[in-house]
Every structure is written in structure tokens, then in C-alpha cells.
Amino acid sequence: MLKDFADNVKQLTNGSVQLEILPAGAVVGVKETLEAVDKGLIEGGFAWTHYWSGYHPAAMLFGSPVAGAGVGIDNIAFISWFMYGGGKELYDQLWKEMKMNIKGIMLQPVGPEALGWFKKPIKSMADFRKYRFRTPPGLPGQTYKDIGIAAVAMGGGDILPALEKGVIDAAEWCCPKPDSVFGFQKVLKHYYLQGLHQVVVNADLYINGNVWKKLTADEKNAIKVAADASLIRSLSYRIYENGKALKDLTENWDVQLHDTPEDYFVEYMDAAKKLLNKNAKKNKFFAKVWQSQKDFARIAVPYWAGAQTANANLGQAYAQSIMKK
């Protein structure tokens, strides 16, 4: 999808702006990407927004707002807030709050992410608490700890070896397509799609501020147009790709798909709200961004949740008819 964005930028600028896509670690490590762009060591970088929560806690609200920011914002509603609810302006301010010489470009929404993979089925939170569970770092992982899960944060390359050695018993990564490429189905067979830890996950492009200033107005506009296109193309692409992957997992790998226990949602949401409130009290900009999301949610979520309920019921009716056949 990043190469797709780069191709669009090249075409829209008649080749005056070209992005050379290098693999992670080719110049600097993933964790050093933001500082390398800020210092001009590289002209641009690509990563997941919530990676920078250590620089500023509000990065999480743009990259991975835990439990839908505690106000029911899903990945599509997030884009609505970002584009029309004041999110984009606050996002531009984020880099100033970090004191980074960077122009951020939001590109790729992902999600909702799956709850994860387990050795045995879980019927309640009591069952869940029996397992050592790989979680993402930051607030999503801390929320699991707060509800009594033995949460273990680790890098992607360490997950499968840890599962095979019994260091952890369950894990989350992303969604059916990335999970299947990762190879979870070779180790675990019980899969839960519905989770709250990363209902929304976003990746973005970072351009050095001096490089951005040198671009013409038309070139900047072309990048913005390509970025807006990338948001919807990324959503559309992932729905179909994840669908194909889930079909393969259940039909060819004996993966069993389960519904997440109901008590999970109540416990996780309550703990997430407490963590969000705690961070809002500590940081003014965090509070400002979260208030913007809450203001948006009061208007948009009642409508969108109601509409999505109808969509979900429609989809479930069709999915169940397929399963019966």
C-alpha cells in the first residue's frame, strides 16, 4: 500500500516527486525513524503512529486509540474525525508538541485488530487470565495488565519462538492476512476476531520539515490528495485481503473461529477509560485531543453505531447461512 501511494504521488506530480521505498532497517532502525527524519538523516520515513507514544502520549490517540478512545470510535469513524472533526489540525500540532521538524501524512488505517490466538478456547475472563498473553506496548498492553491478564510485550520476531517454547500461551498481532503471513496457524488453532485493544490502528509517513517546505504548492497538494486516496484504498484493500485469509485459515488450516467472551468487553472498556482519564489529567494536549474525539463521538457514534448494527446483523445472517451449507 505504501508503494501504491508512492506511485500515485509520482503520477500526480508528473515525476517531480518520487519516493524510494527502502525496507525497514536499511538506513536506520524502526525505532530511530522519527529522529532520523527530524534531523534530516533521511528525507522521510514510514511507521505506525503509536510507536511514538514515548515522545508524546497523544501519539496513541492518533495511532491506536485504545478501545476506540473509550467512546466507540471504529476505524471508519476515526477517518471521519480525522478529516472533518478537527483531527487533522490536531495531528499537525502533535509534531510541534514533540518539537519535531516533521510534516506527518496519515496514510493507512488498519483494523479492527483481532483479539488473538489461543491454545485452548476461552469462555470467560477467568479462562483468559490463565494465559500469558503477548500484547502491544503502551496503553493497550497496560489495559490488559489492569484487568489481570499476564500481558507480555515483545517484538514481532520473538512471538512464534516464545509460543513454541511455552514462554507465552497466547498472542495478538493484527488481522487475518498479516496473522496468516506471520504463521500463527502453524502453532495455535483457536482464533478470536473481536478485540478492543486496537480497534483503530494507523500508519503514517514522516517528511522532514525542510524538505516539505521546498516542495511547490502543487506538489504538496498532490501528496495530500494521494494520502486521502490511500486512506480509503487501504481500508478497501484490507477488507478483501483479510476475508480471503480468514477463509483460508478456517478451511485449510483447521483454525477454529470463536466469539470473544462478553465479560471481556465490559472489563476492558472500563479499564481503558481509567487509563485515558489518567493520561488526560497529566498532559494538556492529550486532554485536548481526547476531548475533540469525545465531542465528535457524541454527534457521530449514535448514528454510526446504529447503522453498523444493521450492517453487522445483515453480514452475520449471510455468514451463518454459508456455515450451514
Distance CA 108, CA 49 (A): 10
* pLDDT digits (tens), the chain, 325 positions: 999 999 999 999 999 999 999 998 899 998 899 999 999 999 999 999 999 999 999 999 999 999 999 999 999 999 999 999 999 999 999 999 999 999 999 999 988 999 999 999 999 999 999 999 999 878 899 999 999 999 998 878 899 999 999 999 999 999 999 999 999 999 999 999 999 999 999 999 999 999 999 999 999 999 999 999 999 999 999 999 999 999 999 999 999 999 999 999 999 999 999 999 999 999 999 999 999 999 999 999 999 999 988 888 888 888 888 876 6
Number of domains in the chain: 1
Q: For position 59, what pLDDT does the model report?
A: 96
Does residue 11 form part of some domain?
A: yes
Cell of 199: 480497534
What percent helix, strand, coil does the chain show, rounded to 5? 60, 15, 25
Secondary structure in 3-state letters for 256-278: EEECCCHHHHHHHHHHHHHHHHH
Q: For position 325, what pLDDT does the model report?
A: 62
Burial class (CB in 10 A: 0-12, 13-18, 19+), 31: exposed
In the 8-state DSSP scheme, what is residue 214? Answer: H
Q: For position 270, what pLDDT does the model report?
A: 95
Cell of 191: 482464533
Does residue 220 form part of some domain?
A: yes
Distance CA 179, CA 186 (A): 11
Does residue 240 form part of some domain?
A: yes
Distance CA 10, CA 52 (A): 28
**Alpha-carbon torsion, ordered 32, 26, 176, 251, to 10 deg:** -160
Which candidate, 20, 28, 33, 46, places its Cα nearest to that of 230? 46
Does residue 248 form part of some domain?
A: yes
Assign 55 to helix, strand or coil. coil
The CATH number of the domain holding residue 27 is: 3.40.190.170
Does residue 221 form part of some domain?
A: yes
Distance CA 21, CA 9 (A): 13
The residues, any chain, with a CB within 8 Å of residue 98's CB and separated by 6 or more, are 52, 55, 56, 59
Q: For position 139, what pLDDT does the model report?
A: 87
Does residue 96 form part of some domain?
A: yes
Phi-psi label, residue 324: left if phi above 0, alpha if psi -120 to 50, beta otherwise: alpha
Which residue's entry shows cell 493484527? 174
In the 8-state DSSP scheme, what is residue 85? Answer: S
Q: What is the DSSP string of 174-190?
A: S-HHHHHHHTGGGT--E
Distance CA 125, CA 324 (A): 29
Instruction: Tally Cβ neighbours within 10 Å of residue 22.
Output: 11
Distance CA 125, CA 128 (A): 5
Cell of 185: 496457524
Does residue 276 form part of some domain?
A: no
Radius of gyration (Cα) for the chain, nearest Å? 20
One-letter amino acid of 28: V
How much is the pTM? 0.93
**159-to-82, 132, 134, 227 alpha-carbon distances in Å:** 32, 12, 7, 32
* Domain of 30, in residue numbers: 2-113+197-253
Distance CA 102, CA 277 (A): 28
Cβ proximity of 16 and 245 under 8 Å: no
